[in-house]
């Protein structure tokens, strides 16, 4: 799981692929466009491969390897140039970075999958380690709670880069919530297979977050946000989690894409 050896990062590329993820594509597309504009503002050419769909993780974690492979193949074909792939989710990043090489082990695409995996960077990881992202915070003072997905934390080891980006906003105070390291209970198909266990987990998460009194909730994973936001709204809470890309874009002078 968690990578022990620090990853080697490439120097600033001319062009990157932006991988929106299937959830952002249909449910929170603004976050994708905000990320695209933010990367362009940093002087990076962004290719949004039109053929991209889903990383295949839902089938993979459910045990359907053949079905996951079909979907994974398309993503590798859709992003075949040797450019870095910037992914708006630690979870999909973990799938492509860690699990693609295993999924194709012993198959003709093994080498392709391994090379593809090396080009995979989670959004906050890319901003911090490759772009050395620094922008002036133009927003009002506020406190922010952060939720890091388990894959971002334990597979991609990028919880620290998410924090670093928030901490880089000079008017923002980041608050830590109780059991912040703990899963929100989403778990892909887990939340529909075991809705009550998942419900118990997300209710605890919501309680811990709201107890901080933070004005905002930020996460770099829309899967967790969909889960946590759904529970927040269900409980009548005004707080609504936002994707890190939109938050950064908004705080640093970016226009809203609505």
Residue closer to other proteins by CB (options 172, 208) is 208
Q: Give yes or no for a contact between 248 and 176, defined as CB atoms under 8 angstroms apart.
A: no
- Gap between the Cα atoms of 201 and 199, Å rounded: 5
What token pair was written down for 66?
Answer: 């053949």
Out of 66, 106, 108, 255, the residue judged to bind other proteins by CB under 8 A: 66
Task: Kindly give, in sequence order, each residue whose CB lies less than 8 Å from that of residue 174, ignoring residues fewer than 6 positions away.
Answer: 143, 144, 145, 146, 163, 166, 167
The mark string for 97-136 relative to other proteins (x by CB under 8 A, - otherwise) is: ----------------------------------------
Q: Is 53 in the site for other proteins (CB under 8 A)?
A: yes
- Provide the terminal-to-terminal Cα distance of the chain, rounded to the nearest Å: 38
Total residues contacting other proteins by CB under 8 A comes to 77
Site stretch for other proteins (CB under 8 A), options 6-14, 164-172, 194-202, 243-251: 194-202
Within 13 Å of residue 161, how many CA atoms lie on the same side as its CB? 26
Q: How many other CB atoms sit within 10 Å of the CB of residue 155?
A: 21
Q: Is 41 in the site for other proteins (CB under 8 A)?
A: no
Out of 13, 199, 250, 254, the residue judged to bind other proteins by CB under 8 A: 199
Nearest to 54 by CA among 27, 35, 81: 27
**Minimum Å distance from CB 239 to other proteins?**
14
Q: Is 54 in the site for other proteins (CB under 8 A)?
A: yes
Site stretch for other proteins (CB under 8 A), options 73-81, 110-118, 127-135, 208-216: 73-81
């Amino acid at each position: 799981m968690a990578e022990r050896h620090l990853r080697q990062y490439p120097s600033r590329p001319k062009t990157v692929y932006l991988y929106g993820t299937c959830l952002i594509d249909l449910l929170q597309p603004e976050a994708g466009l905000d990320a695209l504009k933010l990367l362009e503002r940093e002087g990076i050419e962004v290719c949004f491969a039109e053929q991209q769909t889903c990383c295949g993780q839902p089938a993979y974690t459910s045990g359907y390897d053949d079905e996951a492979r079909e979907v994974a193949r398309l993503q590798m074909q859709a992003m075949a140039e040797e450019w870095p792939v910037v992914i708006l989710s630690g979870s999909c990043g973990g799938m492509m970075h860690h699990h693609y090489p295993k999924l194709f082990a012993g198959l003709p695409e093994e080498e392709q999958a391994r090379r593809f995996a090396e080009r995979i960077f989670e959004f906050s990881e890319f901003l911090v380690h490759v772009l050395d992202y620094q922008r002036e915070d133009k927003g009002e003072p506020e406190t922010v709670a952060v939720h890091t997905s388990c894959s971002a934390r334990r597979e991609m080891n990028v919880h620290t880069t998410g924090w670093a980006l928030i901490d880089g906003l000079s008017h923002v105070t980041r608050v830590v919530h109780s059991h912040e390291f703990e899963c929100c209970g989403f778990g892909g198909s887990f939340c529909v297979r075991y809705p009550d266990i998942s419900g118990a987990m997300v209710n605890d998460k919501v309680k811990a977050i709201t107890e901080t009194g933070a004005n905002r909730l930020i996460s770099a994973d829309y899967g967790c946000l969909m889960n946590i936001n759904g529970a927040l709204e269900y409980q009548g809470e005004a707080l609504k989690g936002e994707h890190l890309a939109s938050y950064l874009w908004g705080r640093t002078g970016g226009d809203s894409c609505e």
